[in-house]
Structure 1
Amino acid sequence: MCSSFMLVNGLGGGMVGGRMKVKDVKTNGEVQELGRYSVQQFYRMQKKGKKKGGGYGGDLRFQEVEAAET
C-alpha cells in the first residue's frame, strides 16, 4: 500500500497532475512511517471484519516501502 500526495505550484512551475518518483524511499522516514501506518490500519480493519464474520484472511506485516510516487 502506498499513499500519495501531490503539491501543485499554480505559478507555472512543475507539472500539474504528473507523477514523480520519490527519491531515497528506503531512507525517507516519512514515507516509511506512512507505509507502516497503512498496514496498521489495514490490520485493524481486518480484525473488525473477522469479529463480524468477514475479514480478508492471511497475515500482513510491514517490512518497508520499496517505491513511492507523488
Structure 2
Amino acid sequence: MSILSLHHGDHGVHGDTPALHPVRDFIADWLEATPAAILLRPAGAFLTEWAKATPLAILFRSLHR
C-alpha cells in the first residue's frame, strides 16, 4: 500500500469526466515511481515507529487506556 495512492478505488466518483481518469492515473503512477516516493515509504515507516517508541508517546498511550 502506498502513501501516494491517488486513484485506487475512486473510479465511481460522480462529477469527474472519464477523459481525465487516464491523465490522473498516469500522474499518480508516475509520482509513486519517483525515487523520492520510493524513499519516503521506509523513512515514513521509520519515523512512525520512532515516534511511537518515544517516552512521551508511551506515556500518552498508557494514560489513554
Larger % of helix: which?
2
Larger Cα Rg: Structure 1 or Structure 2? 2
Q: TM-score, normalised by structure 1?
A: 0.38
RCO (CA 8 Å, sep 6+): is it higher in 1 or 2?
Answer: 1
